Amino acid sequence: MHIPTFESLKRYSDDLNQFLENYQNLIDLATVKHGQLIKKVREGENKALTFKTSVGAAVEMTDGNIFTAGNIENTNRSWDDHAEKVVIVVARMQNLQYKKNDFIALATNTTDYTDYSCPACSFCRQYLWDNTHPDLLLIDVRPDDSISLAMPLKLTYLLPWPKILKPRLREQNDPI
Q: How does pLDDT run across 25-68, given as a tens digit for each residue? A: 666 666 767 788 888 998 998 999 988 888 999 999 999 999 99
Q: Enumerate residue ranges in the chain where pLDDT < 70.
A: 1-6, 8-10, 12, 15-16, 19-30, 32, 113-118, 149-154, 158-176
What does the pLDDT read at residue 121? 83
What does the pLDDT read at residue 57? 94
What does the pLDDT read at residue 137? 85
Write phi, then psi, for 81 (nearest 5 degrees). Answer: -110, 120
Ordered strands of the 137-140 beta sheet: 66-70, 55-61, 103-110, 137-140, 153-154
Structural domains of the chain, with CATH: 26-158 (3.40.140.10)
